[in-house]
Amino acid sequence: MISDSILQPQAKKRLFIGLLAGSMFAVLALAGLFYYLISHPTTLLQQILLIVLIGAILVTMVAVAFGIGGIVLTIWLAKTITPLQPLMRVAINLLFPVAIALGKIFKIDTDKIKRSFIEVNNQLVRTRELKVKPTELLVLAPHCLQKSSCPHKITTNLNNCKRCGGCPVDKLLAIREKWGVNVGLATGGTLARKYVKEYRPKAVVAIACERDLASGIQDSSPLPVLGVLNERPFGPCFNTQISITRVEAAIRYFIEVEY
């Protein structure tokens, strides 16, 4: 079995999980404060609306609590808990913005939180042990892998690449030839969604920075996505690099043994 560290640099999963739990308690505290401030309705309608509102918040928070519990158990047992999958997605989608805001309050670097989220996501995906055919796997990469001085337009057609070896795009094409997977170079979320709609993959290996990976993973849910962080020796969105070892390790998680 391939080590987790091969997929991407180590990030502490407990950071994101802890912030999710903290976000849940923060929402409950705000709901309690809200209830305190309007706990003296003057009409029957106001009383009913207050009860419905508080009830909805409590039901949502119970679902979120089960979702967080499902995430912890899935990582701890290294086994998918199918009935809790929808609640896990609810917990992440609802509390992710709150977790980011909470991190800012405690002066935790946002990219660090997103790296933790990506690691949690990857662990959850790996426990599903999903296997697909190469043609059912999509490798999505950012357009900033292309050398900035390259005159060839390859975002709409990768085959326009001249395979000079001056940037990692040549390596992506080699991966496509070696594994038989679909590869797309995206300039943003719109084009990435276009590739997903075009290829209709059953799984995705996504290469990007923390911001784009975190948003892409959420946008693609419930489609399983393994995230691989890109490397930025020249700064963000400029002549970025990839670790072929990590990308191929992610591909191996999805590809059926017979292929």
> Each residue of 8-20: pLDDT tens digit?
445 688 899 999 9
User: Does residue 88 sit in the same domain as residue 167?
Assistant: no
Least confident range from 21-25, 51-55, 120-124, 239-243: namely 51-55
Mean pLDDT confidence for 85-109: 93
Mean pLDDT confidence for 157-165: 91
Mean pLDDT confidence for 160-166: 91
Residue with the larger pLDDT of the pair 214 and 5: 214
What are the backbone dihedrals phi and psi of residue 237, each rounded to the nearest 5 degrees, phi first?
Answer: 60, 30
Q: What CATH number is attached to the domain comprising 182?
A: 3.40.50
Q: What is the pLDDT of residues 22-76, one digit of tens each?
A: 999 998 888 887 777 676 666 777 778 778 888 888 888 999 999 999 999 999 9
Helix (H) and strand (E) counts for the chain?
A: 9, 4
Could you identify the residue written with the tokens 């690691």? 119
Residue 162 lies in a domain: yes
C-beta atoms surrounding 94 within 10 Å: 19
Of all residues in the chain, the percent with pLDDT exceeding 90 is 66
Q: What whole-number distance in Å separates Cα of residue 79 and Cα of residue 164?
A: 44
Of all residues in the chain, the percent with pLDDT exceeding 70 is 92
Mean pLDDT confidence for 107-135: 94
Residue 13 lies in a domain: yes
In this prediction, residue 254 carries a pLDDT of: 95
Residue 22 lies in a domain: yes
Please compute, for residue 196, the number of CA atoms within 13 A of its CA located in the half-sphere on the CB side. Answer: 22
Residue 108 lies in a domain: yes
User: Does residue 116 sit in the same domain as residue 208?
Assistant: no
Residue 3 lies in a domain: no
User: Does residue 115 sit in the same domain as residue 211?
Assistant: no
User: Does residue 58 sit in the same domain as residue 76?
Assistant: yes
Residue 14 lies in a domain: yes
In this prediction, residue 188 carries a pLDDT of: 83
User: Does residue 103 sit in the same domain as residue 167?
Assistant: no
Residue 73 sits in which domain range? 8-127
In this prediction, residue 5 carries a pLDDT of: 40
Residue 1 lies in a domain: no
Sheet-wide strand order for 137-142:
182-186, 137-142, 203-208, 225-229
Q: What is the pLDDT of residues 198-212, one digit of tens each?
A: 999 999 999 999 999
pLDDT higher than threshold 60 for residue 2: no
In this prediction, residue 135 carries a pLDDT of: 95
Of 127, 143, 172, the one marking the end of a domain is 127
Q: What is the residue type of 238?
A: F
pLDDT higher than threshold 90 for residue 257: no
User: Does residue 102 sit in the same domain as residue 145?
Assistant: no
User: Does residue 107 sit in the same domain as residue 156?
Assistant: no
User: Does residue 142 sit in the same domain as residue 123?
Assistant: no
pTM summary value: 0.85
Of 83, 112, 127, the one marking the end of a domain is 127
- Say how many domains are in the chain: 2
User: Does residue 96 sit in the same domain as residue 194?
Assistant: no
80 band by pLDDT with thresholds 50, 70 and 90: confident
Of 72, 97, 127, the one marking the end of a domain is 127
The residue count of the chain comes to: 259
Residue 259 lies in a domain: no
User: Does residue 79 sit in the same domain as residue 55?
Assistant: yes
pLDDT higher than threshold 50 for residue 179: yes
User: Does residue 75 sit in the same domain as residue 31?
Assistant: yes
User: Does residue 160 sit in the same domain as residue 191?
Assistant: yes
